[in-house]
Amino acid sequence: MIGTLSDEFEVNVPAHEAWALYGKLEFTYICVPDLFDKVDVLKGTGALFHTNEDEISKVDDKNMVKEVRASRGGYLSLGFNSYGVRFEVIKKSENSCIIKVTVHYDVTL
């Protein structure tokens, strides 16, 4: 079964300020420091974070998008064929934006 779940919420800060936090390569590491075991910078400002179970596979500063995908263990060991989360910061006005989180998955039932 392939599916998508999505939720969004508004924050009362400019989009560039929200992205300054969400877009940081270190954001997830700061939130859950025990989860990461290494960081590999692939090219430019792009990076691939290796965790025990996930990797941050895309950071797009221009479009304010970050994508994380399961790479081993975790959800994959529970029967998911793939599992990924996409974070987006969408400008709403000069002083507010939408944080949108979308989960994409493929699971064998």
CATH number, domain containing residue 16: 3.30.530.20
**CA dist., res. 5 & res. 39, Å (int):** 28
What was the pLDDT predicted at 35?
45
Q: What is the pTM of this model?
A: 0.74
Asked if 39 contacts 47 with a C-beta cutoff of 8 angstroms, the reply is: yes
The percent of the chain in helix, strand and coil, each rounded to the nearest 5, is: 20, 60, 25
Identify the band that residue 50 occupies on the pLDDT scale cut at 50, 70 and 90. very low
Per the structure, the count of domains in the chain is 1
The residue-averaged pLDDT of 47-54 equals 51
Residue 60 CB partners (closer than 8 Å, separation 6+): 66
The boundaries of the domain holding residue 88 are 2-107
Mean pLDDT over all residues of the chain? 78
pLDDT, tens digit, 9 for 90 and up, residues 22-49: 777 656 555 545 445 555 555 445 444 4
Reading the block at residue 81, the tokens are 């064929």
Residues in the chain: 109
